[in-house]
Structure 1
Amino acid sequence: MYWEKTYGGRDAFPCLVRTILSQNTSDVASQPAYDGLCERYDEPDRDLAAALAVADRDELAETISAAGLYNQKSEMIQEAATWILEEFDSAAGFDKYVTEEAPEKVRQTLLSIHGVGPKTADCVLLFAGGQSGVFPVDTHVHRIYRRMGIAPPDADHEEVRAVLERDVPAAKCGFGHTATIQFGREYCTARKPACLEDPEACPLADRCDQVGVYPETGEVVDPADAPEAE
């Protein structure tokens, strides 16, 4: 159903900024914020991290306001930019580190940055570093694989990631991430999954345990809140 993409090749710092902007919002909201940020601060003869580190905080917040939580996100972006300059001298130095160092070392480094959680770190590893075997867990991935019965119903994001990175071939993890997001938007939505009204409407119906989905009553709950099957 979904085309497999090529992963890696993106510059690491813009990827980090883009992922921070996407936190707790949709691409529809975060993309204009990212485009506006690049238009204002990403100049050909200037390092983006250097530009953002000294940017006026209120101006930066206004620029990314479409992404929501703009005060917090502007602070996180500036702190990340300042840290990258201190540790790697430039956005280019950070990009070299992300692409050449061992993935687990890079992941732990990214997680030390204020505002960077597992999903953000893994997205940088996947889309900038091109690392195989990395399966970022966003809200769609977390919901779908517990709903399908592949991960335990009460698994947190990290536990779902561990299951997927263990069982999915390394070369397919990146594709699994992006395809699952698309599948979650089109079929396995949080409140009205396709199977709720028509069991045959979902292309994965024959592989899904429907944990927390009850077509008989029209009820949908988080898999962690679903009663155990007898």
Structure 2
Amino acid sequence: MSDEEPVENISGGAAGGGQSATFDPETAGTRAEAVVDCLGDLYWQKTYGGRDAFECLVRTILSQNTSDKASQPAHNELMARYGGGDDTDLARALAEADQPELAETISSAGLYNQKSERIIALAQRICEEYDGEAGFDEFVREGVPDAVRSTLLDMNGVGPKTADCVLLFAGGRGGVFPVDTHVHRIARRMGLAPAEADHETVREFLERDVPAEKCGFGHTAMIQFGREYCSARKPACLDDPDACPLAGHCDQVGVYPATGEVVDPAEAE
């Protein structure tokens, strides 16, 4: 574990805007909940909520179609140039930003011209409709979740995963299970969702079968699990079934250890 991790596992709680949860695979009501509970033994159960909503939105846009390793420096540079001090309204600063300058600032994130244009347009809309980042933050935290999600999806460049990440990490909303490429692959490979399910269908299955207070942790833990064990091309079970800590819960859809073949679950026999 990293030295920066807490000394004990926590999930939710007042400090993070989420809800506390008990992780016990033996008492899980569904297989999806059992999977999340098992992940609770592997990874630190963090708190969710409390981030500034507009900054969270910008951070998620920067992460689109790139890795954290590439997007994090872009976020750091953007905040250093436009974030200013505690009294700075990030939305207003970015609404007035010079697009080529912003593009240069976030160049490490890739697609920087497109992303800079989207960020400026979003900042301008948020200033017009919510009078800056404080009003937008209040809307995300206190608005009706379905209405907040619908509004976010109406914004150019904001897809379902981005909207759900803002609801989870800024709003601290329970029952939100964002689906990225790792979650999409793993849920279908394990048989927690239909093999042919798109991202939205996977989200519906997971939010149905995982208790609301465990969805946030399930999202982040499943991403980490995908990076460490259940990669797209060479999952741990391919060479050694015992190498995967979740082997007993997995249908191995599209994974064929006998031949060494791995295909997208939708293409599995």
Q: TM-score, normalised by structure 1?
A: 0.98
Map 1:64-213; keep pairs closer than 5 Å.
64-213=106-255
Q: Deviations over 1:63-87 (max 9, x none)?
A: 1111111111111111110110010
| Local SS of the residue matching 1:85 | helix
Q: TM-score, normalised by structure 2?
A: 0.84
Structure 2 CA distance for aligned equivalents of residues 72 and 99 of structure 1: 28
Residue 70 of structure 2 aligns with which residue?
29
Q: Percent identity?
A: 74
Structure 2 CA distance for aligned equivalents of residues 149 and 65 of structure 1: 38
Stretches of structure 2 that go unaligned for 5 or more consecutive residues are 1-41
Q: Deviations over 1:120-166 (max 9, x none)?
A: 00000000000000000000000000000110000000000000000
The amino acid of 1:148's aligned partner reads M
Which residue, out of 60, 79, 89, partners 2:102? 60
- Deviating above 4 A after TM superposition, structure 1's stretches of 4 or more consecutive aligned residues are none
Q: How well do the aligned residues superpose, as a CA RMSD in angstroms?
A: 0.6
| Local SS of the residue matching 2:152 | helix
Deviation at 1:176, TM superposition (A): 0.3
Deviation at 1:46, TM superposition (A): 2.3
Structure 2 CA distance for aligned equivalents of residues 36 and 122 of structure 1: 25
| Local SS of the residue matching 1:137 | coil
Which residue, out of 41, 45, 48, partners 1:7? 48
Structure 1 CA distance for aligned equivalents of residues 132 and 78 of structure 2: 18
Structure 1 CA distance for aligned equivalents of residues 260 and 107 of structure 2: 37
Structure 1 CA distance for aligned equivalents of residues 232 and 94 of structure 2: 36
Structure 2 CA distance for aligned equivalents of residues 80 and 218 of structure 1: 46
Residue 80 of structure 2 aligns with which residue?
39
Structure 1 CA distance for aligned equivalents of residues 255 and 136 of structure 2: 44
Structure 2 CA distance for aligned equivalents of residues 68 and 211 of structure 1: 33
The amino acid of 1:76's aligned partner reads R
The amino acid of 2:53's aligned partner reads A
Which residue, out of 82, 92, 104, partners 1:50? 92
Structure 1 CA distance for aligned equivalents of residues 237 and 173 of structure 2: 34
Residue 16 of structure 1 aligns with which residue?
57
